[in-house]
Structure 1
Amino acid sequence: MTLQPHPDLSGIMVTCAVVTVSDTRTFETDESGQLIQQLLLGANHSVGAYTIIKDEPTQIQGQIENLGKSANVDAIILNGGTGIAPRDTTYDAIERLLEKTLPGFGELFRFLSYQEIGSRAIASRAVAGVYQNKLIFSLPGSSNAVRLAMEKLILPELTHLVSQMRK
């Protein structure tokens, strides 16, 4: 049995910023950032900004703080830097900024990941929350993880979450 959430108001377009956190990716090689944009546009949302930044906590926090001031952005979707390697600092940088957390996002993401990749899902520090009245989603950098999070969690709830924040 597949559970369906209550219907959302149709016609709400959410404007998202896409941020890839990587020391090596370029605009040409950033498959995950491009995939996020394609999926957003395919769901009738818009991309208000797209950038690639190094996996440096000050750069990550600075980018989020700048996007948090933007009246044109409803949500920020980051990908990359959520593991436990020494250079994976996205979670640590974001966690300090979040005013509210959505623990269910990380929990469900790891559960769904476990169904696909097994116990390696425990290494993911995917997180979501709110900063400056903007939704923040932080995803692993792999395209498979991005597709999973976008299709199973973010896109089905994006309109609902933004409408809740606008109340």
Structure 2
Amino acid sequence: MAIPHQNLPISSVNCAVITVSDTRTFETDMSGKLAQELLINANHKIIHYDIVKDEPEQIKSLLISLVKNPILDTIILSGGTGISPRDNTYDIVSQMLEKTLSGFGEIFRYLSYQEIGSRSMCSRATAGLYNGKIVFSLPGSSNAVKLGLEKLIIPELTHLVTQINQG
């Protein structure tokens, strides 16, 4: 398979990992720990990690605050992408994105379907650009975080950051 863009000038991306949950703590957040581990193992840096309640104003406020950090390149959220009344992440993130990477959610659900079947249609995983930063929003399960990071985010992260930094 041909790769459309040659040698990327950056090799490490500065990341924020955010878990959206009403119940997880820093001790019990396996998905957040896994996301950090996978990113670090891929030579990326974690410059912010947090857990926020699945409250629209808290999610929005945190995103607004994070994008002001000039060294931050990407924000990876996990949790709140389902359809239960408490799942607010997708609704907030999708309203804030200035450009959407539609293929991210489509491919994520396709890959997820191969693992969990038709239940994958309940995922509202999404990605796009907000204020010059790449934002990924994944379901909160460790399996979903692993799938999204290993199959989609990590392979394309430096390319995406290079593209948005070309100004």
Shorter-chain TM-score category? over 0.9
CA contact (8 A) 1:82 1:125 kept: yes
Alignment map for 1:57-68 (pairs within 5 Å): 57-68=56-67
Aligned residue number for residue 40 of structure 1: 39
Alpha-carbon separation, structure 1, partners of 2:106 and 2:3: 18
Alpha-carbon separation, structure 2, partners of 1:115 and 1:155: 20
Task: State the AA in 2 paired with 1:119.
Answer: S
Alignment map for 1:120-139 (pairs within 5 Å): 120-139=119-138
RMSD value, Cα: 1.0
Q: When the two structures are superposed, what TM-score results if normalisation uses the length of structure 1? A: 0.96
| Alignment gaps of 5+ in structure 2 | none
Residue 91 (str. 1) matches residue 104 (str. 2): no
Aligned residue number for residue 158 of structure 2: 159
Q: State the shift of 1:9 in Å.
A: 1.6
Alpha-carbon separation, structure 2, partners of 1:75 and 1:110: 21
Aligned residue number for residue 112 of structure 1: 111
Q: State the shift of 1:42 in Å.
A: 0.2
1:152–1:66 distance in 2 versus 1, CA, 3 Å: same
Q: State the shift of 1:72 in Å.
A: 1.8
Alpha-carbon separation, structure 2, partners of 1:94 and 1:145: 18
Q: State the shift of 1:4 in Å.
A: 5.5
Alpha-carbon separation, structure 2, partners of 1:150 and 1:21: 17
Alpha-carbon separation, structure 2, partners of 1:72 and 1:33: 21
Aligned residue number for residue 25 of structure 1: 24
Partner-residue secondary structure (3-state), 1:78: strand
Partner-residue secondary structure (3-state), 1:27: coil
Task: State the AA in 2 paired with 1:134.
Answer: K
Runs of 4 or more, structure 1, over 2 Å off, are 3-8
Cα deviation code 1:39-84 (max 9, x no counterpart): 0000000001000000001100101000111112100000000000
1:144–1:165 distance in 2 versus 1, CA, 3 Å: same
Q: When the two structures are superposed, what TM-score results if normalisation uses the length of structure 2? A: 0.96
Alpha-carbon separation, structure 2, partners of 1:54 and 1:4: 42
Q: State the shift of 1:105 in Å.
A: 0.1
Alpha-carbon separation, structure 2, partners of 1:100 and 1:10: 23
Aligned residue number for residue 5 of structure 1: 3
Instruction: Report sequence identity in percent.
Output: 61
Cα deviation code 1:72-111 (max 9, x no counterpart): 2100000000000000000001111100000000000000
